Structure 1
Amino acid sequence: MNSITVAIFDVDNEGVLAGPQNKSARVIHAILKAETNIETIIVTGKKLRQSRLDGINVFMIPGGGVMLYQQWALGVRGRKIVRDFVRQGGGYFGICSGAFLATNARFGWLALVDVKLHDMKHQNRGGGLISVKLNAAHAEEVFSSQWVLKDTLPMLYWQGPLMVDQTGGKLTESKRKAGFGIIKEVASFSSVIAPEDSENERIRFPEYFSDEHMSGHAACIQTTYGKGRVFVSSPHLELPAENRGMIPEIIRWTAQVETLCEAL
């Protein structure tokens, strides 16, 4: 099998992995480094603009970041490079803030995924462990049976997007020409969170942890953009630790690893 090279995006100008605060990126980096045939590099906005992601199979924005700062660090040219990279066959994997940035819900985001985001006004909810329900029909395209057969999984939700597919499995001609693919819901939220420190409403909105605002919305989505594959996850797939084996499988799917194998 050919090696897959994953570029993990970092906003630190020195290229130190996501700074000392971003546990999410550090855990993911460790998971991928332990995998055979997966190589990782760290790219800043500056390095991305210089390299144009040459030699990269998958571009990843992990969770734990501030999406507006990540957007700024990418810059207009960097965002175009990422879109062109995916359109031409590269993979994109975004978790939490990386899932937000993948959508076309706000001007200046990457616009790889055509979804509506529910209740952005109260997005800063806080978080905790939540159950997600897998959609086997779509999950089995990405994951091995050890995951698909579990039906539900615990995952860490921390202020990620609540995604809503409005396409009904269809694409208009204009959306198709723009590069968007059919949205396939891999998992949806199946429970609500018992918020931590819910009395601190300066940073949390505990009244929006209801079934109306959480359950049923898409938690993980797979789709295409141009010739490339896109996987976005609102919850942090790297936590709890029992889920970490999902991440290399997502990388291989977004890298279209079966295409790489055919070249051998």
Structure 2
Amino acid sequence: MPGTHPNAGPAPAAVDRRRLLLAALPATALPATALLAAGCAPSAERARNEPDDRRPLALVYRGPQGCAGCAPAVANLLRRARRPYRVTYVGPGTGTPLSAEALADAELYVQPGGGADLDGAWRQLRGSADMMRDWVRGGGSYLGLCFGAYLAGRDPGFDLLPGDTNGYIDSPGTTIHHQRDTVVPVKWRGKRRHMYFQDGPAFFLDDGADADVLATYPNGDAAVVVAPYGKGRVGVSGPHPEADRSWYEEQGLRNPDGVRLDLAYELVEATTRRR
């Protein structure tokens, strides 16, 4: 709904990566019934019953650039994964700053969607850039969704990708020419799927880059990528695999596949997998 929530992600065009956007994401947490993975093995059930202090730690950024529901949506997703996480919010106003001390105990760091001003967000985060790169290089996992995927790129960004990002709506041959919330078809590991989308990035990898393209947009641009960075891994998605049913209902959208979260879980697992 325009004017209700902050934008899910900026569209840094080739000529102007710094424009502000005004679109929206819903601020609703994921319902439990939508989050349970189908066909969970007994080992997954046992993992869910483990005490919180035995679960791996995920840090989820919840600073002022994010929409109200973006970080909680990811947090709920991670708590209900096959290998559940305990989640701590970090960033201004959370009581836990993004710091080397916080990252030292974490397996996964998530930069969610929700930003409206890439330069503004980067002014708050650039002091953490070297620290973030060192942490991922040493074995940490960075997951960037929409706005968080832009921030994994360069100029401005953490520079964690073997390439860079640009708004899909600005790409040659794009199938979407507006900044409104919509559903985009992708080819995920060779199969046609549909994902929630709001002005997210495409990824342009360097020649010969060591990266796994999980999904592509209709024009062939990379939509979801996982790549090594030192001993760690970086996972980025232009669309929103974490979007639950309420996101679609609030925007009057329909996913032809039904509202499923299997792609979100697959991306998390690919991002945290070790070689």
Where in structure 2 are there 5+ consecutive unaligned residues? 1-46, 48-53, 172-177, 246-258
Amino acid at match of 1:86: V
| Counterpart for residue 150 of structure 2 | 100
Where does residue 125 of structure 2 map in the other structure? 74
Q: 1:55 to 1:119 in 2, by over 3 A?
A: closer
2:139 maps to which of 72, 89, 94: 89
CA contact (8 A) 1:4 1:255 kept: no
Distance 1:119 1:27 in 2: 23
Q: Secondary structure at the match of 1:154?
A: strand
Q: Check conservation: 1:9, 1:43, Cα contact below 8 A.
A: yes
Match of 2:228 among 200, 224, 229: 224
Deviation at 1:120, TM superposition (A): 8.0
Find the counterpart in structure 2 of residue 174 from structure 1. none
Q: What is the alpha-carbon distance in structure 1 between the residues aligned to residue 56 and residue 267 of structure 2? A: 12
Report the TM-score when normalising by structure 2.
Answer: 0.64
Of 61, 66, 89, which residue of structure 2 is paired with 1:42? 89
**Alignment gaps of 5+ in structure 1:** 13-17, 137-150, 172-181, 191-214, 260-264
Assess if the C-alpha contact under 8 Å between 1:222 and 1:229 holds in 2. yes
The percentage of aligned residue pairs carrying the same residue is 24
1:33 equivalent among 76, 79, 97: 79
TM-score normalized by the length of structure 1 = 0.66
Which residues in structure 2 correspond to 1:1-264 (within 5 Å)? 3-12=55-64, 21-35=67-81, 37-44=84-91, 47-49=97-99, 51-66=101-116, 67-76=118-127, 78-104=128-154, 106=155, 108-118=156-166, 122=170, 125-136=179-190, 151-167=191-207, 170=208, 182-190=210-218, 215-239=219-243, 241=245, 242-256=259-273
* Contact 1:58 1:251 (8 Å CA) reproduced: no
Q: Aligned-residue CA RMSD in angstroms?
A: 2.7
Query: What whole-Å deviation, never above 9, does each CA across 1:73-122 have from its counterpart, x for those lacking one?
Result: 2232x111111110000001000011111012x1x410000224346895
Deviations 1:205-229 (A, max 9, x none): xxxxxxxxxx211110110111101
Higher helix share: 1
Q: Is the 8 A contact 1:52 1:81 kept in 2?
A: no
Aligned to 2:14: none
User: SS at 2:151's partner residue?
Assistant: helix
Residue 40 of structure 1: SS of its match in structure 2? strand
> Which runs of at least 4 in structure 1 moved beyond 4 Å after TM superposition?
118-124
Q: What SS does the corresponding residue of 2:213 show, helix, strand or coil?
A: strand
Displacement of 1:34: 2.9
Residue 163 of structure 2 aligns to which amino acid in structure 1? Answer: V
Aligned equivalents of 2:264, 2:134: Cα separation in 1:
24
Q: C-alpha separation between the residues in 2 aligned to 1:86 and 1:135?
A: 25
CA gap 1:184/1:249 in 2 versus in 1, 3 angstroms: closer
CA distance in 1, matches of 2:166, 2:120: 22
Instruction: Tell me, in whole angstroms, the C-alpha distance in 2 between the residues paired with 1:93 and 1:134.
Output: 18
Paired position in structure 1 for 2:249:
none
For 1:91 and 1:56, the matched residues in 2 are separated by 9
Rounded to whole Å, the distance in 2 between the matches of 1:68 and 1:187 is: 27
Offset from partner CA, 1:187-245 (integer Å, 9 cap, x none): 0112xxxxxxxxxxxxxxxxxxxxxxxx2111101101111011100001112543323
Q: 1:70 to 1:243 in 2, by over 3 A?
A: farther
Work out the CA distance in 2 between the residues paired with 1:92 and 1:82: 9
Measure, in 2, the Cα distance between the counterparts of 1:122 and 1:129. Answer: 17
- Structure 1: distance between partners of 2:267 and 2:203: 19
